[in-house]
């Protein structure tokens, strides 16, 4: 039996809780390298223990992800009734009760599948909203066969550049976020390494690059990045700052640009190679194997190694491409955050102003379409409950008050840190605890907990009556404090049971704005 981390167990439990009260399609949000495949594997094992006649399809678009997720399930559950349907992996299974499949392989063969009870979509942010796309048309066929089918999405980035948050809007496939954990939380728990940054003095000049479809125009972007003096300066900086780093992953603007950066690294004595979309699969596999084995120090790519790529030895990420997509930015940085022996952190060299543009990787600035469809409405992520809130909102419904906006000055070389500033957390001894109802006009009430720690008091708000993720977070909080108690549906009901909750002896506090974050508890 493979033990889950606490947050992975909470993610699995959140699915059961969601379907107990809801009929929608939930999302699970776990950062890149946070172990989504293990969450899926354990959920499937438990499902088939109770309902062995189910048929489940795990759908994604990258063969490496299909292979990884399949291997994780077999590792956890060797007897799993599982198969693979992927042309890239040369396997076409339509009969197994669990199928890991590629959308490209299954799209035109939906009629060959039996009635599916559950679809799990990995990298769910890649599912477009438009009904005529490959994903939506395929899912529509499955729904026609079984109107009661359940759909679960997993992603590290619950938003799209073209349409905002995945669970918002009338045409959204997903209904709610049932579980979410932040990059910062996993770093604090020792499950990921932190990203660190050094100011990159060489920067791609974006002054003549236009925008189309919400992203930089690829041809203009690559032309700007190919300036010989810029390529040379960027290569010099990567070599300089990567001197004590072992594995460099370089994201480029296009094939020609990737070849130019690769050649510049070769000229500086760096063993490196390229991988692009048209790279033959056998050559790609051999190149990645050489990189993981340490035979290559650098790997240059364009739009290939952002999903489904797992090289734990990566300790330097070079963003040699600007992007307007916060999701792509987070995916690129996330490639370097996996744990690896003797790896303390991952160096992020940003040559495209991405950190400045999108904010820290653990608190990105997200944009969603406005309600009238005529423009964009910026969002920000609440660090207390994880929910997306309009940028103009000063206080989240969970009670967290956002700090006032900073006035930024444009600079040539980005010196912005890839993580939001976070003082060292401090354990405080708890003298006594007080519980009370907290009510804000027009909002559901929450349970306020005041921890008296010497001459100071720290507070947190548990949103028992709020919908979506705040409720899921409240349920997890209550089950840890009162594992033998029923989870209350209302604050007033909860107040009747607080005397039976486990008593906290210490709380771990991290200063963050007006209200410090309580990120750990000893009971």
pLDDT of residue 412: 38
Question: What value does the mean pLDDT of the chain take?
Answer: 84
pLDDT of residue 375: 43
Q: Which of 73, 69, 71, 53 is nearest to 61 (CA)?
A: 69
CA distance linking residue 346 with residue 129, whole number of Å:
34
Work out the average pLDDT over 179-207. 87
Residue appearing with tokens 């992203």:
215
pLDDT of residue 515: 62
Q: Which of 221, 194, 188 is nearest to 333 (CA)?
A: 194
Work out the average pLDDT over 399-424. 53
Work out the average pLDDT over 407-425. 53
Residues of 204-239 as b/e, b for ≥16 C-beta within 10 angstroms?
A: bebeebeeeeeebeeebbbbbbbeeebbbbbbebbb
| Structural domains in the chain, sorted by start | 6-181 (3.40.50.300), 195-358 (3.40.50.300), 426-522 (no CATH)
pLDDT of residue 253: 94
pLDDT digits (tens, 9 = 90+) for 8-22: 999 999 999 888 888
Higher pLDDT, 152 or 171: 152
DSSP letters along 79-142, please?
A: T--EEEEETTTTEE--SSSEEEEEHHHHGGGGGGS---SEEEEESGGG--S-TTSHHHHHHHHH
pLDDT at 395 over 70: no
pLDDT digits (tens, 9 = 90+) for 161-173: 666 778 877 788 8
The end-to-end CA distance of the chain, in Å, is 27
Where would I find the beta strands (DSSP E) of 131-175?
Answer: 150-155, 159-160, 164-165
Please say whether the beta carbons of 489 and 463 come within 8 A. no
| Backbone φ and ψ of 459, nearest 5° | -130, 150
What secondary structure letter does DSSP report for 160? E
Work out the average pLDDT over 31-55. 91
pLDDT digits (tens, 9 = 90+) for 285-313: 899 999 999 999 999 999 888 776 888 99
Work out the average pLDDT over 440-466. 89
CA distance linking residue 474 with residue 253, whole number of Å:
43
pLDDT of residue 145: 85
DSSP letters along 342-383, please?
A: T---EEEEESS-HHHHH--TTS-EEEEE-TTSSSEEEEEE-T
> Residue 376's pLDDT band (boundaries 50, 70, 90)?
very low
CA distance linking residue 331 with residue 206, whole number of Å:
22
Q: What are the helix and strand counts (H, E) for the chain?
A: 14, 27
CA distance linking residue 315 with residue 247, whole number of Å:
6
pLDDT of residue 440: 84
> Residue 227's pLDDT band (boundaries 50, 70, 90)?
very high
Distances (CA, A) of 155 to 187, 346, 479: 18, 22, 25
pLDDT of residue 264: 97
pLDDT at 139 over 50: yes
Higher pLDDT, 361 or 238: 238
Higher pLDDT, 135 or 321: 321
pLDDT of residue 396: 56
CA distance linking residue 300 with residue 157, whole number of Å:
23
pLDDT of residue 6: 87
pLDDT of residue 406: 43
Most confident range (mean pLDDT) of 126-140, 159-173, 394-408, 446-460 is 446-460
Higher pLDDT, 289 or 411: 289
pLDDT of residue 162: 63
Higher pLDDT, 189 or 421: 189
Express the helix, strand and coil content of the chain in percent, nearest 5 each: 30, 25, 45
pLDDT at 66 over 80: yes
């Amino acid at each position: 039996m493979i033990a889950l981390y606490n947050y992975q167990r909470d993610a699995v439990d959140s699915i059961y809780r969601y379907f107990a009260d809801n009929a929608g399609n939930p999302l699970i949000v776990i950062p890149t390298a946070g172990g989504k495949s293990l969450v899926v594997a354990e959920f499937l094992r438990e499902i088939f223990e109770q309902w062995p006649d189910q048929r489940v399809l795990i759908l994604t678009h990258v063969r490496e992800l299909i292979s990884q997720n399949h291997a994780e399930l077999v590792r956890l559950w060797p007897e799993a009734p599982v198969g693979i349907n992927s042309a890239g992996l040369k396997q076409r299974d339509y009969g197994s009760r669990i199928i890991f499949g590629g959308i490209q392989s299954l799209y035109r063969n939906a009629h060959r599948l039996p009635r599916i009870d559950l679809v799990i979509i990995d990298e769910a942010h890649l599912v477009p909203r438009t009904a005529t796309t490959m994903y939506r048309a395929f899912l529509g066929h499955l729904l026609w066969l079984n109107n009661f089918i359940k759909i679960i999405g997993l992603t590290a980035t619950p938003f799209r550049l073209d349409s905002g948050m995945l669970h918002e809007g009338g045409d959204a496939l997903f209904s709610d976020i049932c579980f979410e954990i932040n990059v910062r939380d996993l770093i604090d728990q020792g499950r990921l390494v932190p990203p660190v940054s050094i100011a990159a003095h060489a920067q791609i000049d974006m002054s003549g690059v236009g925008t189309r479809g919400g992203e930089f125009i690829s041809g203009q972007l690559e032309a700007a990045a190919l300036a010989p003096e810029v390529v040379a300066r960027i290569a010099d900086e990567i070599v300089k700052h990567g001197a004590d780093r072992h594995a460099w992953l370089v994201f480029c603007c296009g094939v020609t640009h990737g070849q130019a950066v690769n050649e510049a690294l070769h000229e500086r004595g760096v063993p490196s190679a390229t991988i692009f979309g048209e790279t033959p699969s056998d050559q790609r596999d051999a190149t990645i194997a050489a990189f993981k084995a340490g035979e290559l120090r650098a790997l240059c790519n364009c739009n290939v190694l952002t999903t489904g790529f797992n090289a734990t030895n990566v300790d330097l990420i070079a963003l040699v491409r600007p992007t307007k997509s916060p999701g792509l930015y987070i995916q690129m940085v996330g490639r370097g955050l996996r744990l690896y022996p003797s790896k303390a952190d991952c160096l992020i060299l940003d040559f495209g102003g991405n950190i400045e543009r999108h904010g820290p990787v653990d608190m990105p600035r997200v944009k969603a379409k406005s309600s009238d469809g005529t423009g964009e409405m910026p969002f920000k992520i609440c660090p207390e409950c994880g929910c997306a809130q309009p940028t103009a909102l000063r206080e989240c419904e969970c009670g967290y008050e956002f700090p006032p906006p900073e006035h930024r000055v444009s600079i040539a070389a980005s010196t912005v840190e890839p993580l939001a500033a976070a003082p060292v957390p401090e354990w405080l001894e708890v003298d006594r605890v007080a519980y009370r109802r907290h009510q804000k006009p027009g909002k559901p009430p929450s349970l306020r907990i005041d921890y008296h720690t010497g001459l100071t008091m720290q507070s947190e708000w548990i949103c028992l009556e709020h919908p979506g993720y705040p409720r899921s977070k409240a349920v997890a909080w209550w089950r840890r404090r009162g594992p033998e108690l029923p989870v209350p549906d209302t604050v007033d009901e909860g107040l009747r049971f607080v005397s039976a909750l486990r008593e906290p002896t210490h709380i771990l506090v991290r200063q963050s704005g007006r209200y410090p974050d309580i990120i750990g508890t000893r009971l």
